[in-house]
Amino acid sequence: MARVMSAAPCDLTHRAERLTPLYILALSAVACLSILGQMLVQWSLQRQFSDSTVVNLAGRQRMLSQRLTKAALAAEVAGSQEQRAARRQEMAEVLTQWRAADAGLRRGDDRLGLPGRNSPAVVLALARIEPHFRDVATATESLLAGTGDRQAALQRLLEHEPQFLTAMDAIVNQYEDEARQRVAWLQNIERGLLLLTLAILACEGVLIFRPAVRRLRESAAALEESRRQLEVAKLQAESANDAKSRFLATISHELRNPLQAILASVELATPTAADD
């Protein structure tokens, strides 16, 4: 009976020991995937912020080139020295910003939030636009310095600024396309991680929890059967004990009267001290 009582708990313990490593492995995989997903989300947010900064500054380059041209034309038709000086000051400030943004787009600039990680297509486009950038910058510097032929410098500026603007439009579009591609790629990765997590949870349910529940039910049924057998054994033991008690009482009753008669006869047959 003791063997029957201990069989179910031992079997349950053995099965739990076999399922525990699988359970820990599944939980670890889900935890790792969750951490990887969070890291991917953080990286994605940083990358999107960087992409938006690059696209904004690239678009701003177009606006700055237009401001240079407008300021140069306004300086030429200014009616007073103060107005001309104000336009020249605007040209100098815009030229400084324009050059800083161009250098940041090419090589990166932490102050502007530019990583400088350009794709081969962007690198090629920036190389193609460099002559127009250089000509516009040189013409602007000539106008600011007041040296050389101002009309030739202004004509040079007006000639290369539209070409720079057109080429810069293509660069901005390239940046935007690459940013959309990265977003789509990250979305596919996140979907893959989600599907993998769901697959692991499904496998955990099928391979771990379902067998565990089934085995727990089997162990519970075995324990219930052991309890029933113990109850039956208890009743049998109580019944046997009652039968023994009744048997002993009967024997005691049956033997008491003959023994008393024998003892009385022995007492009568035994001479006393007075008779001696």
Rounded to whole angstroms, the Cα distance separating 110 from 65 reads: 23
pLDDT at residue 121, as a whole number: 92
Average pLDDT, rounded, for the chain: 80
- Looking at the chain, the whole-number percentage of residues with pLDDT higher than 70 is 86
Tens-place pLDDT, residues 29-74: 778 877 877 787 777 777 777 888 888 888 888 888 888 888 888 8
Whole-model pTM over 0.85:
no
Residue 78 is encoded by which pair of tokens? Answer: 């200014």
pLDDT of residue 120 exceeding 60, the answer is yes
- Looking at the chain, the whole-number percentage of residues with pLDDT higher than 90 is 8
Produce one character per residue of 189-201: b if its CB has 16 or more CB atoms within 10 Å, e if not: eeeeeeeebeebe
Average pLDDT over residues 136-158: 85
Confidence of residue 1 (pLDDT cuts 50, 70, 90): very low
Average pLDDT over residues 147-161: 84
pLDDT at residue 124, as a whole number: 92
Average pLDDT over residues 191-197: 85
Residue 26 CA, chain-centre distance (Å), reads 15
Is the model more confident about 222 or about 133?
133
pLDDT of residue 275 exceeding 70, the answer is no
pLDDT at residue 19, as a whole number: 64
Confidence of residue 11 (pLDDT cuts 50, 70, 90): low
Rounded to whole angstroms, the Cα distance separating 125 from 101 reads: 16
pLDDT of residue 7 exceeding 60, the answer is no
Tens-place pLDDT, residues 210-231: 777 777 777 778 788 888 888 8
Rounded to whole angstroms, the Cα distance separating 242 from 180 reads: 89
Bridge partner residues of 114 (DSSP) = 109
pLDDT at residue 5, as a whole number: 44
Average pLDDT over residues 89-118: 87
